[in-house]
């Protein structure tokens, strides 16, 4: 399951979710938040990608 974090920007802080696959040197996917922020649907998508190690399997 992804972990919540905050990213500092010059215009203020953004909420973020980091989902990491179980791989030594995995590729990365960046999911940008929608207008409603980092929603459960977006966290589930990120977790799903991490679970697949971004292989598309």
Phi, psi of 14 (to 5 degrees): -120, 140
> Is residue 15, in this structure, part of any structural domain at all?
yes
CA distance 47 to 4: 12
The residues that bridge with 5 in the sheet, in sequence order, are 16
Phi, psi of 3 (to 5 degrees): -110, 145
Q: Give the residue numbers spanning the domain of 30.
A: 3-51
Q: What is the pTM of this model?
A: 0.50
> Is residue 56, in this structure, part of any structural domain at all?
no
Q: Structural domain tally of the chain?
A: 1
Nearest to 16 by CA among 7, 27, 24: 7
- pLDDT tens, residue by residue, 1-53: 678 888 898 999 888 888 777 766 666 667 777 777 778 888 888 888 878 76
> Is residue 29, in this structure, part of any structural domain at all?
yes
Q: What is the dihedral of CA 18, 46, 11, 8, to 10 degrees?
A: 0
């Amino acid at each position: 399951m992804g972990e919540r974090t905050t990213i500092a920007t010059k215009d203020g802080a953004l909420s973020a979710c980091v989902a990491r696959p179980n791989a030594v040197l995995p590729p990365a996917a960046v999911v940008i938040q929608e207008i409603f922020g980092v929603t459960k649907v977006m966290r589930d998508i990120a977790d799903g990608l991490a679970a697949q190690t971004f292989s598309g399997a």
